[in-house]
Amino acid sequence: MSEDRELTRLENEWKNRFDRFTAPEPSREQTLDLLQKIKAVEEVKPVDLRFKLESHQDTQSMSARTVNLFLSQWNFHGTRSWLLTGIIMLILTLTISQNIGNEVAGFSTWIKWVTLFMIAVMGYAFRTKNEGNQLIETLSYYPLTVQMFMRFMIVMALQLAITLPLSFIILGATNSIYYLLGSFTPVLFFGVIGFVSTIWLGQKIGLLLALFVWFSQTLFEKQHQSASLFQLPENEGFLLMNIVVMGISILLLGTVTLKYRQMRDLT
């Protein structure tokens, strides 16, 4: 019974306190001051760094943007990687030239290894480094397809710059414009295969597809000589095959514009 009385007393006590409580009415000056503070907070917005970066990029010339794009993608290889690539290519060339006496047979073996190495370089150029790099690529000012195309151009330019001089070590005095063409076309083709298949199918499937084409060409070269990508100038269909391969390479590169439009429409 005493507990009921105590509870009733406490209830009345708190009820009286709530009844007496009234919120103080703000003055006119306080209301105007509060509005000014709210207005000041709205005017001070955080700096949009991405907007500032894009505005700065838009003011640059096309050449300056291309240089910036080149430098951003150069980081995926860097000087050290290309020096290592050149050293491996030189060792490969010297090894073949020293162990195969006939220049033509040496060239045939050499160009197959060079194109296989080209596929490995393409796989390295488009490898998945880590989640952080993927985020940087995705959030970059430049579209992902454009970044990959610039990386492809870097790989192709430097790979050809390394390959063509080395062909003189293999062929010596027998080298000619046709053998240079025979070096250029297969390297271009497998570079395009690696790049385009990576764009459409992803890095792993693209690499496997390029390897599949290379092994198919190597294993069935003798059975299907006329369809071989590794034609020699002595072969009857040398020029025709090179023209066809270049045409296919250009068409495959043209499909990259479709992929670019697809990715642009999705964003």
Q: Which pLDDT tens digit goes with each residue over 131-182?
A: 776 777 777 778 888 888 998 999 899 888 888 888 888 888 777 888 889 8
Q: Which pLDDT tens digit goes with each residue over 223-256?
A: 887 888 888 888 888 999 999 999 999 999 999 9
Q: What is the pLDDT, as a whole number, of residue 188?
A: 93
Looking at per-residue pLDDT, the higher value among 26 and 122 belongs to 122
What rounded mean pLDDT belongs to the chain?
A: 84
Q: Which residue has the tokens 């790989």?
A: 155
